[in-house]
Amino acid sequence: MTCRFDWQWLSVAAACVMAAGCDSHPYDLADVSGKVTLDGQPLAGAIVNTQPIATGSSSSPGPGSFGKTDEQGRFTLELATRAVPGAVVGPHRVTIRMPDSGDTSDEAVNRMTERARLPQAALDGSLRLNVPVGGSNDALFELQARRRQ
């Protein structure tokens, strides 16, 4: 009797083990949505980026998240590393930016104007968001436009 090792079955088994492990995270996630305003008006088309802040002995708090605001300034966060809704539980640094499309339409010109008006805190990561274990649907960033000097 000859014992023959079948590499094909080993490959299939390894793929199944890896696929099963892909859904586990070394960090907790929670759903987060909210709204961004600029001078009390909804900020449409803005990109909200969050990055978890390491706390305690953790040097790797997990991946950041992002969302894009709709016409009402509403956004929903998802992990930046893959299309999974939510954000890592805990404190985050937040940046809010207007994308530069290179477009010259009226809408693009409005985005450029809004980008120039965003306060420094929205651009430099000074804004903070704490993601609770149960998630949040009321994250609110009320920005005040930079004033021309």
Residue 6 burial (C-beta neighbours within 10 Å; 0-12, 13-18, 19+)? exposed
Which one, of 94, 100, 85, lies nearest residue 123 by Cα?
94
* Domain annotation covers residue 148: no
* Domain annotation covers residue 34: yes
Q: What is the pTM of this model?
A: 0.75
Q: Take residue 49 and report the two structure tokens written for it.
A: 């980026």
Q: Are 46 and 35 contacting, i.e. CB atoms less than 8 angstroms apart? A: no
* Domain annotation covers residue 63: yes
| Tens of each residue's pLDDT in the chain, 149 residues | 455 544 444 444 444 434 444 445 578 999 999 999 999 999 999 999 999 998 877 677 899 999 999 999 999 999 988 889 999 999 999 999 998 766 556 665 565 566 678 999 999 999 999 999 999 999 999 999 987 55
CA distance 75 to 78: 10
* Domain annotation covers residue 5: no
Name residues whose C-beta falls within 8 Å of residue 112's C-beta, 6 or more positions apart in sequence: 98, 100
Which one, of 44, 50, 90, 95, lies nearest residue 69 by Cα?
44
* Domain annotation covers residue 119: yes
Which pLDDT does position 18 carry in this prediction? Answer: 41
CATH of the domain at 116: 2.60.40.10
Taking 3-state DSSP, the helix, strand and coil percentages for the chain, each rounded to the nearest 5, stand at: 20, 35, 45
Which pLDDT does position 93 carry in this prediction? Answer: 97
First to last CA, the chain: 89
* Domain annotation covers residue 135: yes
* Domain annotation covers residue 3: no
Which pLDDT does position 9 carry in this prediction? Answer: 44
Which one, of 96, 92, 100, 50, lies nearest residue 73 by Cα?
96
How many CB atoms within 10 Å of residue 90? 21
CA distance 69 to 131: 18
Domain count, the chain: 1
